Structure 1
Amino acid sequence: MAHLEVKPKSGTPWWLWLLLAIIALAILLFLFKGCGNKTADVVTTDSTAVSTDTTLNKEDALAATEPDWNKVDFNAPKSSDPDVTDKDISVSGNDEYTIYTLGENILFATDQNAVQGSAEAKLKQIVASLNKRYKGASIGVFGNTDSTGTAGHNKQLGAERAAAVKDWLVKTGGVEDGKVSIHSFGEKEPVASNATASGRQQNRNVEIVAFPTKQ
């Protein structure tokens, strides 16, 4: 009888294993990429929602924003107010706002920043006009000085004088605290020449601006 030699089967070729490994790696990369895209979609959705909320917040904020005080023309034409009869009070302005001006010497004693008693009757006239014509309006109190001293000192002095007038308007005049803001020009907005004593006296003043909020 003839002898038949049976050869054992050879193992799986190495290149087939390599091919399977490459295919598996490609599948894993595809899955990871898909997960990354889903994450990006969620972030985009959240970002849109935040953006919408921000828009709403901005609208709310705009409703409470102060007027643009830079628009106030302190050289506006003089006007009159039947509730303001004191000649020491200057009234000016236009259809958008009214400016009440009082000299520093009327409001304050020399080198002082506390409103003196003799000025209260004048401030009461201004408050009467504010309550009658500008109830709920934004009120800006501006302090002005002459050019004597340093610019920094004058800026601070103007702010202190404005703060003192605001304090009186709120505590004695009954004006709403949140409606009154303080500003200081220092020596930057003179209404007369600082070369003369009378001019410097005119430049030392406090201006109260009533700026009605537009509906």
Structure 2
Amino acid sequence: MAHLEVQPKSGTPWWVWLLLAIIALAIIIFAVNQCNPDSTETGVTDTTANSTIDRSEVLAATEPDWNSVDFNTPQSTNPDITDTDIMTRENADYTIYTIGENILFATDQKEIQGSSETKLKQIADALNERFKGAYIGVYGSADSTGTASHNKELGAERANAVKDWLINSGGIERSKVSTHSLGEEEPVTSNATKDGRQQNRNVQIVAFRHKQ
């Protein structure tokens, strides 16, 4: 009787086990990610959170808070303004150009006097040189004589007159100029004297800085 020699079965190749292990690991990772969706974001860089915001661009693109202007900002000298009838005040955020009502307007009138246009031109030239494209606010003020409502209306009329001049004759961009009436509020000095009341009847042009 012939002897049958049975050969032992060869073991499973090692690379098969490696492949199975890789597949199993992939299945586990997939299952974990499905249970926790936030984990898929761990490799994503949040460019919004990490980017540096250009604050100057935000300032230039966003209209400022006109109620935040401090009209008691310290007085300053300005090389662009040589006319002594024009007062300048300045801080890190804005420059204020103040010109008296008696210089701009005749008594109880709201039309700008021709003699004051050279003064407005000097302010307009400074605005175009230093504040091109920036937001400009024109504030009309009155003294405390008369009713508060009348003073408010008068301040608005005179602010609008200066705004129109800056746009039509001063080359200032219309969309950047706004008007505001302070009326008898925010006086630059006391209303107790004639001289003080005269100083408080004014128009103030506020230019917010436009940083590049």
TM-score, length basis structure 1: 0.69
Q: 1:130-149 alignment to 2 at 5 Å?
A: 130-149=127-146
1: CA distance between counterparts of 2:60 and 2:171? 23
Q: CA deviation at 1:81?
A: 1.5
- The equivalent residue for 2:150 is 153
The partner residue of 2:116 within 119, 127, 146 is 119
Q: CA deviation at 1:212?
A: 2.5
- The equivalent residue for 1:106 is 103
Q: CA deviation at 1:65?
A: 3.7
Conserved? CA contact 2:140–2:156, under 8 Å: yes
The partner residue of 1:163 within 151, 160, 172 is 160
1: CA distance between counterparts of 2:196 and 2:170? 30
Q: CA deviation at 1:64?
A: 4.8
- The equivalent residue for 1:211 is 208
Kindly tell me the number of residue pairs found equivalent between the two proteins: 155
Gaps of 5+ in 1: 1-61
Conserved? CA contact 2:132–2:210, under 8 Å: no
1:100–1:213 distance in 2 versus 1, CA, 3 Å = same
The amino acid across from 2:136 in the alignment is I
SS in 2 for 1:110: coil
The partner residue of 2:191 within 194, 197, 204 is 194
Higher relative contact order (CA 8 A, sep 6+): 2
Conserved? CA contact 1:136–1:212, under 8 Å: no
1:117–1:63 distance in 2 versus 1, CA, 3 Å = closer
Q: Deviations over 1:153-173 (max 9, x none)?
A: 100000000000000000000
- The equivalent residue for 2:7 is none
Conserved? CA contact 2:86–2:97, under 8 Å: yes
Percent of aligned pairs with the same amino acid: 70
- The equivalent residue for 1:56 is none
- The equivalent residue for 2:18 is none
Aligned-residue RMSD, C-alpha: 1.7
The amino acid across from 2:124 in the alignment is V
Conserved? CA contact 2:96–2:207, under 8 Å: yes
Q: CA deviation at 1:213?
A: 4.4
1:190–1:63 distance in 2 versus 1, CA, 3 Å = closer
Structure of larger gyration radius: 1
Conserved? CA contact 2:141–2:181, under 8 Å: yes
Q: Deviations over 1:116-156 (max 9, x none)?
A: 01110101110111111100010000000001111001000
The amino acid across from 1:177 in the alignment is R
1:213–1:199 distance in 2 versus 1, CA, 3 Å = same
- The equivalent residue for 1:94 is 91
Q: Deviations over 1:94-118 (max 9, x none)?
A: 1110000000000001110011011
SS in 2 for 1:157: helix
Runs of 4+ in 1 over 6 A off after TM superposition: none
The amino acid across from 1:142 in the alignment is Y
Q: CA deviation at 1:211?
A: 0.7
2: CA distance between counterparts of 1:117 and 1:94? 31
SS in 2 for 1:148: coil
1: CA distance between counterparts of 2:68 and 2:134? 16
1: CA distance between counterparts of 2:115 and 2:108? 16
Gaps of 5+ in 2: 1-58
